[in-house]
């Protein structure tokens, strides 16, 4: 475990040179009154340390003579540990997490300046931890005020999360192993959901069975609120009530995935609960599937990030024109964003420690950054035809038979040397499999 995190820290240290980077753990989150949410570590902090406690600060000071990696942590405390769980503590943290020095978090003000005063820059992200934000500013201002006496000190603060964008975008083998595990569990849940979803059952029953599998298989739980949307509910992109009784003739859209050791799966499938597509459902399903397959084909090393979205948008827009849902020249419709009446979201996002994972998409000149080997991206086009759809001027009124249909297909795709690998291939999506 140690070499992995120290390799990652080494890469950050190479990026910051004479600088010092300070990373904060996530705070404990109070849900209501004094009931706490389950703790969820900050992704950057976890990526660099593997340390899974709140109230911690990690310092990377590559130029420091003795202490290049410093941790500030909660001290051992018998009483507090009885109430809210085990703490690694100062002594153990040094050994277990490979820090050159570890201090109690209460001693931050005392010890932090020695790691900042020789740095030329301070890397820090001003996040939700206001106490730490204030402390960092205070130390920085103090060092600036005394700069003339030393001739050293951070002359600027740069955002530390930007440093992490490129690193986290390219997954290392350990991350890929965790993503594969999260995906395998989620695939099992999706395949089971398709077996048990029937007219007469409630959406929440399917949600419960899937989340049961997540936990049973050792996942932490859902990576995001599970969407189990039948019938017209599938037209609501973030539908999470999951309380409707499914009926014969419904499509069921399930967007669900688990988090395993903080790594997330994100999978969507749509299928008829009664086992049979209506003519309109089949036509739209085939269109979304074609768009998704073309988009997946555009996920290649070196391909600019926008191309897979453009491929999906073009296929969907051509199909919408053919079906009479849109009217006009395909290029013009896309340029004027008319397709957004039925396909209103992006085609995908990076996936990893966060569901919408780190990774800068554009260069300063606005061109799109290319995919690189080791990127993991979701590919998730869809069509959503609201029951109350009203065309904008110049667009046709649509036939009622299309109304209330929502379809999305989402896979998780790894960019490889030779092209890509669909990590979610264990969940079928062919027309035949969905109607089984």
Active site amino acids: 34, 238, 255, 266, 345, 349, 356, 380, 384, 408, 410
* Least Å from the CB of residue 266 to ligand GLY: 5
Count of residues near Mn ion by CB under 5 A: 4
**Binding-residue pattern over the window 367 to 406 for ligand GLY, x denoting contact by CB under 6 A:** -------------x--------------------------
Residue 224: contacted member of Mn ion, ligand GLY, none (CB under 5 to 8 Å, by partner type) = ligand GLY
Between 272 and 382, CB nearer to ligand GLY: 382
Site for ligand GLY in 180-239 (CB under 6 A): 224
Q: Is 354 in the site for ligand GLY (CB under 6 A)?
A: no
Tell whether residue 250 is a contact of ligand GLY (CB under 6 A): no
* Vertex 280: Cα angle to 326 and 240 (nearest 5): 90
Q: Which does 250 bind (CB under 5 to 8 A by kind): ligand GLY, Mn ion, none?
A: none
According to DSSP, the residues that pair with 101 across neighbouring strands are 70
Q: Are 324 and 399 in contact (CB under 8 A)?
A: yes
Does residue 255 bind Mn ion (CB under 5 A)?
A: yes
Burial of residue 168, with CB atoms counted within 10 A of its CB: 0-12 exposed, 13-18 middle, 19 or more buried: buried
Q: Which helix (H) or strand (E) holds 32?
A: strand 30-32
CB atoms near residue 353 (< 10 Å): 23
- Asked if 261 touches Mn ion (CB under 5 A), the answer is no
| 411 binds Mn ion per the rule CB under 5 A | no
Residue-wise DSSP of 374-431: T-EEEE--EEEE-TT--PPTTSPP--GGGTTEEEE-BEEEEEETTEEEETTTTS--SH
Does residue 55 bind ligand GLY (CB under 6 A)? no
User: Of 213 and 259, which has the nearer Cβ to ligand GLY?
Assistant: 259
Residues 6+ apart with CB under 8 A from 7: none
Using the minimum distance from each CB to ligand GLY, give the nearer residue, 346 or 419: 346
The least distance separating ligand GLY from the CB of residue 431, rounded to whole angstroms, comes to 22
| Beta carbons of 346 and 282 less than 8 angstroms apart | no
* Helix/strand number for the chain, H first, E second: 15, 19
Query: Which of 266, 357, 411, 412 forms a contact with ligand GLY (CB under 6 A)?
Result: 266
Among residues 237 and 297, whose Cβ is nearest to ligand GLY?
237
Q: How far is the CB of 380 from ligand GLY (least distance, A)?
A: 6
Round the CA-based radius of gyration of the chain to a whole number and report it. Answer: 25
Q: List beta partners, residue 259.
A: 221, 264
Asked if 346 is part of the footprint of ligand GLY (rule: CB under 6 A), the reply reads no
Task: List binders of Mn ion among 377-396 (CB under 5 A).
Answer: 378
């Amino acid at each position: 475990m140690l070499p992995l995190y120290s390799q990652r820290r080494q890469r950050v240290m190479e990026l910051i040179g004479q600088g010092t980077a300070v990373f904060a753990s996530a705070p404990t989150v109070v849900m209501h009154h004094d009931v706490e949410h389950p703790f969820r570590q900050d992704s950057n902090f976890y990526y660099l340390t593997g340390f899974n406690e709140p109230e911690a600060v990690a310092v990377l000071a590559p130029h420091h003579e003795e202490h290049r990696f410093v941790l500030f942590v909660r001290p051992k405390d018998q009483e507090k540990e009885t109430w809210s769980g085990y703490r690694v503590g100062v002594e153990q943290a040094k050994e277990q997490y490979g820090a050159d020095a570890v201090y109690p978090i209460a001693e931050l003000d005392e010890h932090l300046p020695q790691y900042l005063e020789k740095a030329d820059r301070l890397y820090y992200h001003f996040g939700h931890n206001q106490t730490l934000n204030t402390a960092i500013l205070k130390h920085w201002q103090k060092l600036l005020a005394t700069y003339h006496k030393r001739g050293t000190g951070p002359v600027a603060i740069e955002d530390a999360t930007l440093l992490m964008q490129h690193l986290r975008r390219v997954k290392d083998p350990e991350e890929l192993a965790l993503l594969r595990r999260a995906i395998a569990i989620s695939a099992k849940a999706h395949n089971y959901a398709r077996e048990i979803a029937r007219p007469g059952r409630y959406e929440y029953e399917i949600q419960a069975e899937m989340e049961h599998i997540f936990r049973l298989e050792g996942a932490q739980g859902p990576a995001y609120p599970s969407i189990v949307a039948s019938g017209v509910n599938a037209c609501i992109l973030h539908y999470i009530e999951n309380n409707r009784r499914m009926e014969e003739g419904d499509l069921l859209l399930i967007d669900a995935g688990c988090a395993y050791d903080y790594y997330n799966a994100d999978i969507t499938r749509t299928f008829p609960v009664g086992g049979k597509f209506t003519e309109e459902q089949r036509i739209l399903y085939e269109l979304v599937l074609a768009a998704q397959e073309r988009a997946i084909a555009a996920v290649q090393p070196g391909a600019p990030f926008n191309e897979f979205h453009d491929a999906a948008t073009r296929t969907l827009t051509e199909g919408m024109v053919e079906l009479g849902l849109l009217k006009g020249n395909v290029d013009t419709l896309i340029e004027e964003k008319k397709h957004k009446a039925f396909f209103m979201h992006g085609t995908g996002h990076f996936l990893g420690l966060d569901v919408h994972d780190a990774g800068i998409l554009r260069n300063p000149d606005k061109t799109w950054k290319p995919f690189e080997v080791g990127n993991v991206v979701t590919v998730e086009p869809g069509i959503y035809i609201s029951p109350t759809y009203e065309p904008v001027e110049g667009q046709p009124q649509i036939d009622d038979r299309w109304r209330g249909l929502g379809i999305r297909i989402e896979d998780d795709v790894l960019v490889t040397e030779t092209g890509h690998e669909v990590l979610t291939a264990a969940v079928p999506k062919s027309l035949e499999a969905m109607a089984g």
